[in-house]
């Protein structure tokens, strides 16, 4: 990638409702499934997901599926129920008295409308979007009409009558974007429009890195996106990754004490000195990898 804004966009692209990224590296070895426990406590498992609708990532290894089936509790970043889906849609909209056309100006809005029209968003619908929401709509991987991996796990958990828990609220996630001022949002949107032709290849590369099942490789892949540094990049990295990791680690500890849980979060919340694996080790948990990769497609 050619500049800091592109790195920022990649962070957003692979976070929140998509694959997440991270900011620092630790020697965590390979694997997407991790065994978490303390002596005299039941074992739980922490699984790194990717938030895309792609059949390759949903063909889980039978051993991962077995750990899921055995669990009594399923924890996700947020629960993708109907209320959450409606909340996401509403949060992406500007206030009734605001217009994206007025915010962007005629030339930029026309350019955006042409691109959004390619993914089924009319100019009238586009005019209601917040700038960051328009950027995410442009950036998101193409859906085949099915569930993303996290949604699939959620529906499996419902079907198996598991206890369900969320490590974050929808408001906590979306506030990361709403706290950006319009200038920052417009800068990211402009950069996305400049590089929209590259997004399909970027998304495919991220999926292939995930399918490798190797967190070190995914980390190295993410480094290729970063060629610059800026105040905005630093703020987003801290908000999207580091602060969320601290919050999720705090909230997952009561779940781990009860044990028999399957905890699924974006894969790249796991590694690094500020990642969940290290944060749980710092709390005295034994964290080991059963070396169970995602199955071939």
Three-class DSSP labels, the chain: CCCHHHHHHHHHHCCCCCCCCCCCCCCCCCCCEEEEECCCCCCEEEEEECCCCCHHHHCCCHHHHHHHHHCCEEEECCCCCHHHHHHHHHHCECCCCCCHHHHHCHHHHHHHHHHHHCCCCCHHHHCCECHHHHHHHHHCCCCCCCCCHHHHHHHHHHHCCCEEEECCCHHHHHHHHHCCCHHHHHHHHHHHHHCHHHHHHHHHHHHHHHHCCCHHHHHHHHHCCCCCCCHHHHHHHHHHHHHHHHHHHHHHHHHHHHCCEEEEEEHHHCCCCCCHHHHHHHCCCEEECCCCCCCCC
Give residue-wise pLDDT tens across range 64-94: 999 999 999 999 999 999 898 899 889 999 9
Note the pLDDT of residue 219.
Answer: 58
**What pLDDT, on the 0 to 100 scale, is given for residue 297?**
34
pLDDT single digits (tens) 110-146:
999 999 998 889 999 999 999 999 988 888 777 776 8
Which residues in the chain land under pLDDT 70? 1-30, 145, 216-230, 233, 291-297
pLDDT of residue 11: 44
Q: pTM of this prediction?
A: 0.84
What is the model's pLDDT at position 12?
44
* pLDDT, mean over the chain: 82
pLDDT on residue 119: 85
């Amino acid at each position: 990638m050619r500049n800091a804004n592109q790195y920022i966009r990649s962070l957003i692209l692979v976070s929140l409702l998509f694959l997440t990224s991270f900011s620092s590296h630790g020697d965590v070895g390979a694997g997407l499934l991790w065994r978490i426990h303390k002596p005299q406590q039941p074992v739980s498992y922490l699984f790194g997901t990717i938030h895309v609708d792609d059949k390759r990532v949903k063909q889980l290894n039978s051993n991962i599926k077995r750990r899921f089936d055995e669990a009594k509790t399923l924890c996700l970043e947020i629960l993708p129920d109907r209320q959450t889906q409606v909340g996401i849609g509403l949060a992406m909209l500007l206030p009734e008295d605001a217009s994206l056309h007025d915010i962007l100006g005629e030339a930029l809005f026309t350019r955006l409308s042409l691109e959004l029209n390619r993914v089924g968003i009319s100019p009238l619908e586009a005019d209601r979007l917040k700038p960051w929401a328009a950027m995410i709509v442009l950036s998101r991987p193409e859906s085949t009409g099915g569930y993303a991996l996290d949604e699939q796990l959620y529906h499996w958990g419902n079907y198996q009558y598991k206890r369900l828990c969320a490590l974050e609220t929808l408001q906590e996630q979306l506030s990361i974007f709403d706290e950006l001022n319009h200038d920052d949002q417009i800068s990211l949107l402009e950069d996305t429009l400049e590089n929209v032709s590259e997004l399909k290849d970027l998304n495919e590369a991220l999926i292939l890195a995930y399918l490798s099942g190797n967190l070190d490789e995914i980390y190295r892949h993410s480094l290729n996106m970063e060629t610059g540094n800026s105040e905005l990049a630093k703020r987003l990295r801290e908000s999207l990754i580091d602060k969320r990791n601290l919050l999720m680690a705090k909230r997952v500890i009561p779940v781990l004490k009860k044990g028999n849980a399957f905890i699924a979060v974006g894969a790249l919340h796991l590694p690094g000195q500020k990642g969940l694996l290290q944060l749980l080790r710092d709390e005295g948990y034994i964290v080991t990898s059963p070396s169970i990769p995602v199955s071939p497609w």
